[in-house]
Amino acid sequence: MSEPLDVARYIFMNEEGELRSGWRILAFFMFFILAASLLMALSKVFTTLFPSFNASLAEPAASDSLSTSGLMSLYFGNLRNLAGAAIASAISARMLERRSLASIGFRLHRNWQRDFALGCAMGAAALAIAVGIAAAFETITFSVQTRDLASISKGFMIAFLFFLIAGATEELIFRGFPFQALVHNLGGFAAVAITSILFGLAHLANPSASAFSTINTILAGVWLGLAYLLTRSLWFATALHCSWNLAMVFIFGLPVSGFTTLDQLAWLRGSIGAPAWISGGSYGPEGGVAVTAALVLSTIAIWKSGLFTPSDEMLAAIHHGRREPAFISIVAAETESTPPRSEEHAETGSDVETRRAAVNGEPDGSQNSNGDER
């Protein structure tokens, strides 16, 4: 390895002929920044050509009431971020790992509707447990804010679409290509640990953020990371994320991660009292121990439920290079079956069984037990 070319190859490339995971992740964020910047520039050009749209595309002030233009601005901002994340994911997946955008997690595989429905139910249930704990200690009280059925229905649809877009964007960034690159090269445990810490740090700039809220956000990263590992799809994780935020804001009228932007759409109005270490204070329940308990309980319940396994379609779609190292067993052993041939990969039964062994942390003859970095 004395030759400069050999040294450069060792620094940048792994044994699979791909960029090392760290460089792939750096490339993803470069693509994301470039895509987001380009979309922002196009938005400015559009508003210059059509000034009547300027109010809808401008960033609303935090103190602004939720007007129609302010709501449209929030939606456009969310859609712009989602588009940037999708573009970066598509480029990274195709160029760096020779796979499709759908393989990142939003492929319409056999179980996607079931995963999404269960995620919606479990995310809302986990949040309800947290609120119930806080209410039991009389640190949160409620009053009815909206009684009109038409207003409640309208508020639900607006909030649901908003949090669905926001949740999908964050999942693409934190449990999408970067997370999956770490899983492939370092294993599930390292991927969850690294991305969960970054997920927590990314929320430090939120209003009223604290050490407690950061710890809870890191726990939420573990919760959502496990949701991906169990399904190798982002439908379940996105549903958990969306329904948690939706229940927080629309049902209970509480701040979500320090923000109260959509509280006018809520059915109930929540009032947060002391002590803040239980209720979360002005940051919302995510800043208190009630959410800590709910996230731990929900994570254990999901992990031990046995309800989730990766579909054969997703196992085929995510395949690139060699299998990931068996550093940690996440998924319980599955019943052996012969999977259908993928449209993207024509595989033998042994290929899929090899990847099933990888998901379950079972060694095979293709890699030594040390799981070397590729």
What separation in angstroms does the CA of 38 have from each of 31, 92, 207, 227, 293? 10, 17, 28, 32, 42
Of 31-45, 206-220, 246-260, 330-344, the least confident: 330-344
Measuring CA to CA, which residue among 191, 244, 249, 197 is closest to residue 219? 197
Helices and strands: H and E segment counts in the chain:
14, 2
Q: What pLDDT was estimated at residue 33?
A: 97
Q: What pLDDT was estimated at residue 344?
A: 42
Measuring CA to CA, which residue among 340, 118, 328 is closest to residue 231? 118
Q: What pLDDT was estimated at residue 338?
A: 42
CA 254 from chain center: how many Å?
21
| Type of residue at 361 | G
Domain boundaries, the chain: 4-359
Instruction: Specify which residues 268 forms β-bridges with.
Output: 144
Of 1-10, 33-42, 181-190, the least confident: 1-10
Q: What is the pLDDT of residues 141-161, one digit of tens each?
A: 999 998 899 999 999 999 999
Position 341 pLDDT exceeds 90:
no
Position 220 pLDDT exceeds 60:
yes
**Alpha helix stretches (DSSP H) within 254-339:** 276-279, 289-305, 312-317
Provide CB contacts within 8 A for 104, sequence distance 6+: 89, 93, 172, 176, 177, 180, 234
pTM: 0.83
* CA atoms within a 13 Å half-sphere pointing along the CA-CB vector of 347: 23
Q: What is the pLDDT of residues 197-216, one digit of tens each?
A: 999 999 999 999 999 999 99
Q: What is the DSSP string of 39-78?
A: HHHHHHHHHHH-GGGHHHHSPPPTTS---HHHHHHHHHHH
Q: What is the pLDDT of residues 84-93, one digit of tens each?
A: 999 999 999 9
Of 141-155, 222-236, 239-253, the least confident: 141-155
Q: What is the pLDDT of residues 29-85, one digit of tens each?
A: 999 999 999 999 998 888 888 777 666 566 555 444 567 777 888 888 899 999 999
**Packing angle, helices 235-246 and 211-231, rounded to 10:** 140
Q: What is the pLDDT of residues 272-286, one digit of tens each?
A: 999 999 999 999 999
Position 137 pLDDT exceeds 60:
yes
Q: Please provide the average confidence, as pLDDT, over all residues in the chain.
A: 86
**Packing angle, helices 211-231 and 289-305, rounded to 10:** 10
- The CA distance from 74 to 16, in Å, is 42
